[in-house]
Amino acid sequence: MVERFKFQISAMCDDLASAMIDPSVIIVQGAITGAIYGLLALGFTLIYGVARVVNMAHGALFMLGAYIFFALGPLGMFRLEVAPALILAAISLGIIGIIIYRLTVHPVTGDVLAAIVVTVGIAMMVQQLVLIAFGPNYQPVPPFIEGAATFGGTTVTYSRLLAFAVSLVLFAVVLIFIRITKIGSAMRAVAQDREVAMLMGVNTTTLYMLTMAISTSLAALAGILIVSSTTLVAEPYMWQQPLAISFAIVILGGLGSVKGSLVGAFIVGYAETGVAYLIPEGGYLQGAVALGIMLVILLIRPKGLFGKHIELE
């Protein structure tokens, strides 16, 4: 078996050596993958930064968004058009987020572990409810635009380009929102120091609920865009993978830093694309490399790249 191991390693090295490397593939695809992953992690970062809640249900809400869009959209039971279905799905998930927060997370405020357990419980409940309501089979979430564009040596579908664009726009919107608006300043204040913010007259509970609503809406949007541009189907067990990716990105970028999430997402996106392109036989090496980079950066800088003892920036 040692021979077999050596053989596989040499096969992978051959891959690396003989690959006709076209940098446009890595540059373009890595950027798009990175932005899409960033969209995924954005909601997670927000709710952690403001309310210090590690929302383990983030992946499940991502999945729920895709399912609700399917049910409302042209292929589901309600047969609405794509745009209204999208908006309705995001809004309904915002409302669901508020309900979840009030009923389950609020009673265990302050207890980090209980919040983790409760949100994991919510995630599994969502999984089972979706399984019972929609069945074990996959539900289709088709792309919004067909067709693809070619940049040099690589081809990108319009659907993925749309997700890329929306992700960057949403990041910009969130960053501006936090900077400029009053509510955004309130969020930053609460992220910095909760008690003082309360003394300054910020109603933390309302703010937490609002942040939760925004976070879950973002999760829903991410779910719809990502599923429609990559896997094309929604299934009840797909929530763990987005959760793990969000975690890796958020740790890498620094908990609570929106800018950090974007940078972390790009690092992870480039790492995965690079490995997939340069070492095609690598398989799970993609994930392992991304996680390995995260560990290394953590060893050097334990707070993450932009973590500043938890400031929402």
Partner 1 sequence: MATNFLRRVYTSFATNIIDVPTRLLAFMLFLLLIFLPLAQLGSYILYMLTLANIMAIFAASWDLLVGRAGQISLGHALFFGIGAYATALLEQFYGLPPWITMPIALALGVLAALLVGFPCLRVKGPSLALVTMVIPLIASSIVLLYALAPITGGASGVPVSSFFPFLVISQQRVAEYFLTLILLLVSGTILYKIANSKTGIVFVSILDDELGSKACGINVTRYKLLAFATSALFATLAGGLFAHVVSGAGPATLSLGYSFLIIIITILGGIGTIYGPIAAAYILQILDRYVLTISVPVPLEWHLLIFIVVVVIIIIKWPRGIAKFVTDKLRDLQKARELEERGKHVWKTYRKKEKQPIYED
Partner 2 sequence: MKTKTIVAIMLTMLLVTMACAFPVKANPSTIKIGVIGPVGWPQMQGMTEGATLAKEWINSHGGIVIDGTPYDVSLSLGDEHAADMRPDLGAAEMERLCDPTRENVDFVVGGFRTECVSPMHEVSVNYHKLFFISGAATNQLIDCGKFGTPQACGKCVKCDYNKYKYMFRVTPINDTMLAYNILGFLKGYVLPYKLVPLYGQQLDGDPELDIKTAVIAEDLDWTINMYNMFVYGGYLGPQANIVYSARTPWNALDFSSYLDSMHAAQVRLIVHIFSASASMAFISQLAGHPLKAVAAGIDVLGQMSDYWIWTGGKSQYEAFLASTGTRSPITESSSPYTTTQFWDAYYTRFGHAPIYTAWGAYDAIMGMRETLQTHSIHPPFDQAKTDLLIPIVELTDRVGTLGRFRYTSTHDVYSNEFGSMWTLGYVRAVWVQWQAGRLEVVWPMDRPYSKIYALPSVSGKMYPYPTDVNQEAKVDTADISAIGYAFGSKPELPSVPPHPRWQFVADVDRNKIIDGNDNTMVCYDFGKIVDPLPLLYGNEAGHLHS
Binding site for partner 2 (CB under 8 A): 1, 4, 11, 19-20, 22, 25-26, 29, 33, 75, 131, 135-138, 140, 142-143, 146-148, 150, 153-157, 160, 226, 230-233, 235-237, 241, 273, 276-277, 280-284, 286-287
- Single-letter amino acid code for the residue at 308: K
Say which entry of partner 1, partner 2, none residue 195 contacts (CB below 5 to 8 A, set by partner kind): none
CB 45 within 8 A of CB 258: yes
Instruction: Say how far apart CA 284 and CA 95 lie, in whole Å.
Output: 37
From residue 219, alpha-carbon distances to 31, 48, 216, 285, 301 in Å are 20, 14, 5, 27, 28
Instruction: Determine how many CB atoms are found less than 10 A away from the CB of residue 157.
Output: 17
Cβ distance 301 to 264 under 8 Å?
Answer: no
β-bridge pairing 233-234 and 139-140: antiparallel
CB of 114 to partner 1, least distance (A): 5
In the list partner 1, partner 2, none, the entry touching 156 (Cβ below 5 to 8 angstroms by class) is partner 2
Separation between Cα atoms, residue 8 and residue 84, nearest integer Å: 50
Name 14's Cβ contacts closer than 8 Å, sequence gap at least 6.
Answer: none
Closest CB 5 distance from partner 1, rounded Å: 5
CA-based end-to-end distance of the chain: 51
Residue 114 binding target from partner 1, partner 2, none, CB below 5 to 8 Å by type: partner 1
Identify which of 84, 94, 29, 33 has the alpha carbon closest to the alpha carbon of residue 61. Answer: 94
Nearer to partner 1, 73 or 256 (CB): 256
Q: Which residues bind partner 1 (CB under 8 A)?
A: 1, 4-5, 8-9, 12, 48, 52, 54, 104, 107-108, 111-114, 116-118, 120-122, 124-125, 128-129, 131-132, 240, 244, 247-248, 250-251, 255, 281, 283-285, 287-288, 291-292, 294-295, 298-299, 302-304, 307
**Which of partner 1, partner 2, none does residue 248 bind (CB under 5 to 8 Å by kind)?**
partner 1
Q: Name the binder of 292 from partner 2, partner 1, none, CB < 5-8 A by kind.
A: partner 1
